[in-house]
Amino acid sequence: MAEARPLRLVLIGWGAIATRVAALLSERGTPARVVAVALRNGSVPRTPLPPGAVLIDDPAALSDLSPDLVLEAAGREALRQWAGAALDAAPRLVVASTSALADDAFREALIAHAVRARSRIEITPGAIGGIDALRAASVLPVESVRHTIAKPPTAWAGTPGEAILADAPPGAVTLFRGSAREAARLYPQNANATATTALAGIGLDRTEVEIVSDPALSRNRHVIEIDGAAGRMRVDLENAPSASNPKSSELTALSLVRAVENAVLPLCL
């Protein structure tokens, strides 16, 4: 019997996360082939693209590629640029930059676009765990969800936290307390995980977020506390940071790899 053709995959972005995803898919022998990498117009890849992949900078080019899955790992502005064309061209769009979905108007327009295109938007757990339990618990009333992120000081370079740390005494410093919506606005790269928690549970305005810089940490820590009719739950993770981007956890790339593999393997977990 002839082997099924590999899944045709388009990656939006070619930074730390996307390159790691492509490398892991190749190492694991996943039956998926990167047919294109999408970048902003005029951008030049810093590292070679996967064998056989083409570089595209125009969303209209997606339709000619007939992708089975488009995977975004490039930030919320890239999602805004490419998402509509991706939904038109492919039956599945996997989103890493969930902070973009904190914009209600954009999120609802994207959902409506997916319905018209008969496509699907998929959000992976990314750097966190327990999303399946939170989704299940949300079938019944949930009273509160609190998500605390703590990372080493290097993770906050180029964020509003950098200025706070410049004048802060040594030790752990709370950089932010507030809603998941505001966290996603101020810390889009670091707080994608809190947007995911909020969308899975009680929403962007009711989900409480605390962001901490802690020099005692060498890993990125996420603590998610849920209280509701289904019970009390606490998820505590200490993730290795990405080797090339301390703002992101290695688990983020691994979660995207699993999303691709779930699209091609006969048993999905």
Predicted confidence (pLDDT) per residue in 53-103, tens digit? 999 999 999 999 999 999 999 999 999 999 999 999 999 999 999 999 999
Do 9 and 32 contact (CB within 8 A), yes or no? yes
Kindly state whether residues 48 and 113 are assigned to the same domain.
Answer: yes
Kindly state whether residues 184 and 156 are assigned to the same domain.
Answer: yes
Is residue 2 assigned to a domain?
Answer: no
Closest CA to 16 of 62, 75, 69: 75
Residues of the chain with pLDDT under 50: 1-2
Is residue 142 assigned to a domain?
Answer: yes
C-alpha 85/C-alpha 126 separation (Å) is 23
Catalytic residue among 222, 254, 255, 256: 222
Kindly state whether residues 14 and 117 are assigned to the same domain.
Answer: yes
- Distance from chain centroid for Cα 251: 10
Catalytic residue flag (residue 222): yes
Q: What is the CATH number of the domain that holds 153?
A: 3.30.360.10
Kindly state whether residues 119 and 13 are assigned to the same domain.
Answer: yes
What's the domain count of the chain? 2
Closest CA to 219 of 174, 154, 169: 154
Is the pTM higher than 0.85? The answer reads yes
The H or E element spanning position 95 is strand 92-95
Domain of 223?
131-244
Do 194 and 129 contact (CB within 8 A), yes or no? no
> Looking at residue 43, what is its pLDDT?
79
